[in-house]
Structure 1
Amino acid sequence: MQVTSEAVSGVARRLNVSVPTSRINEQFEARLKRTAKTVKINGFRQGKVPVNVVRREYGAGIYQEVVNDIIRDTVFEAIQQEKINAVGMPNIEKTEMKDDALVFEATVEVYPEVEAKFEGLEVERKSTEVTDKDVDQMIENLQKQRASWAETKGMAKKDMQVTFDFEGSIDGEKFEGGAAQDFKLVLGSNRMIPGFEDGIIGMKKGEEKVIDVTFPEDYQAENLAGKTAQFKINVKLVEKQKLPEIDAEFLKIFGLTEEEGVEKLKADVRKNMEREVKNGLRNQVKGATFDALVAANEVEIPASMLAQEIDRQRQQMIQQFTQQFGAQGAKAFDSSMLPDDLFKEQAEKAVKLGVLVSKVLADAKIEVDAARVDAYIEEMASSYEDPTEVIAYFNNDKQQRAQIEGVVLEDQVVDFILNSAKVTEKTVSYEDLLKEQQARQQG
């Protein structure tokens, strides 16, 4: 077999392969003999059909099968022979049968070759600390999660719950989904379109009024997008939030006794918040470093790698949808509702990052630090009631430990890049750090 190859792009190679006809004929004759032992032809006993009869009856089809199989086999032999780091399946483009050889062309995508440049990258590394005020706010949030509601005769204000009827219309015409009865809404929750909640603030029980609200230009219902609607509001009940006392019953929810008291609750809450901050800061600097790495390096992406990543992200979203709405809800879900364009930008970034991180790992010969993996697992386990059980789980399950090793290896890459980067430090509040993390997860 003779092979030549040439680059047709940064991520594709064209192979020219020539296979001697003697190889084809040899396999053809062998397959004719095997077929003669199993084929059924009228006038002959099974297993006793002459090869020449099989050649006459089935020769053309068998010969084509042999040619197809040889093309399939030799294209991969050619890839190995040329030491091509292929991704995806090769595409056979031209096939020609000559007197002495079968000649064909194939194009195969290859793993991108890059130089990961990170000297002089600018990365912002944030820091924060949990203050007493942050702890008090978190405890208040815990109280709000278990709050009750008490009727008030006063005006509706932010953080109050209002029960009301509403009926919407546009130019005097009602529209689908524009009405509800006994609708409950906590003002300030931003559940409704902009301006709707503002129109209710200041109303009292028994009061009615009409408010004008304009639907956003990108509203999901195209027939309503950008249009101004009139909503008739009838307030039936205004309730003020009543927070539970931090008493023995409240402390019991968090596994604390009355003797341990609120100070122990604050200490536990602070510990959890500081663990959350540590993870948040780790993710922040990792995200900032990887964003800078991708922005500073040109990476040509093979179409097959992009397609695989798009499909992975699509399947991940379908899985999340199934977990959220259950199997019954998932039945009504059609993957065609998730076109490639929905994932393309994030998929391109993910593929580029994967290529660049792999290059950094290879060039710097970075191997996973087992001690850091153990420390990561111990830190994660410390938030559980029985840390030793969690540690044993990750150490005994190779797949679970491998996932942690992947996270730690990324952290090691980040540390390596930051040694050559221009790092600026910025102090942020606990609240701002959480907001940034939420925005990154949603993005």
Structure 2
Amino acid sequence: MSQSAIDLPSRLLLNLKPWRNATAWHIAFSGGLDSTVLLHLLAHLAKTESLPPLTAIHVHHGLQAVADAWPDHCRSVCDALGVPLQVVRVQVQPGASLERAARDARYGAFMDVTQANQVLLTAQHRDDQAETLLFRLLRGAGVRGLSGMPRRRPLGGGHLVRPLLDITRTELETYASENHLNWIEDPSNQDRQFSRNYLRHQVFPALTARWPQAMATMARSAAHLSEAQGLLDDLAQIDLSQASTPSDFDWLGLPSLELAALEKLSVARQRNALSHWLEPRTRLPESDHWSGWDSLRDAAVDARPIWRLADGELHRAGGRLWWLSGGWLSPVLAAGEWPDPALPRALPGNGVLTLTGQIPDGPLQIRYREGGEIMELPPRGHRDLKRLLNERGVPQFVRGRLPLLFKGEQLLAVPNLQGLEGGAAGSWNLHWQPPNEDQGLS
């Protein structure tokens, strides 16, 4: 057996040392060369090392007829190694990029099976990292994209870990040959219409013929860029800490930032901080489409600018930026009567209302703003609701969602707003719990 094949188990164990206390290791098992080697290595290490319980996960995309035989192959390999196998069938959504759609479906399945304190192990290696760097470079990626695939990242309730990123494809092939492993050859891997396959079969052979260490040096560049991205993330945290000030409307439960704190930064630092803040919430725009941020930031004080992104919208109101997504972007549905005000009133797509204290006589109704509403405020008399909301600085995007309590045509209360939310002398109080993530927000 070659020296590299002998070293492989010890190198793998070293890379997985931080994860030895996980409650389970799931292995993403396509049946191809890379994942077959990873599975074989771990199954044999488990005989002599104290490892978390191993299971294999095979995702069946249903994109090729030949793939129907792959679950049986994977099952036979797992049976021989004594590793339980879970086969997950997914629906790949049609779209412009079949590669991306299949990946999204696959990682959605991985997310579902990875519970708290569990790890999903995937078999990407150093050559894959170099391909990723060049592929993203050709697409104009920034530092984050050129960092390549991270060695670890959160996934589901646990983590995704790539323990082979310092191993070459040649080393995996040598191990597979010396251990007489059998694996699936996916015909689509030869289809050079796919960009990654074109790079693998056309571009990299030419590069390595001229520069034999091209794969290693490109993977090293990805590591340098990953370190640079870490420094940018640290800077973003510092800048965001200055902008993450309290708001009178924190009860909305919406992410928000103070605009003035961001405006003090250079344009590059603004984009860095915002990218860091938005990244867990939405797919980020390409660099050419950041003009939406400029328009939002520079709009007149009395304007109501909106920056529409892939998975939500950034609004500006009250000197702050607000992130809205999911149910916040859907129109509210009529609420109607409140038959028993002693019980909480669920509002369709708009949270929950509760009345506490000496509940006013009914019948009571929940309505939303239509314009022209008047509210009686002793001793101020009758006041226009729009003016009252202006006085309290209520963001425009909230006003149409505020549930209003009526008795007949009399507006009794507006929830959560001081002086408007209840009866005289505090005899009763109307409280609104806006919709949260569990009620359809991203």
TM-score (structure 1 length as normaliser): 0.18
The structure whose RCO (Cα within 8 Å, separation 6+) is larger is 1
Query: Higher strand proportion, which one?
Result: 1
Query: Higher helix proportion, which one?
Result: 1
TM-score (structure 2 length as normaliser): 0.19
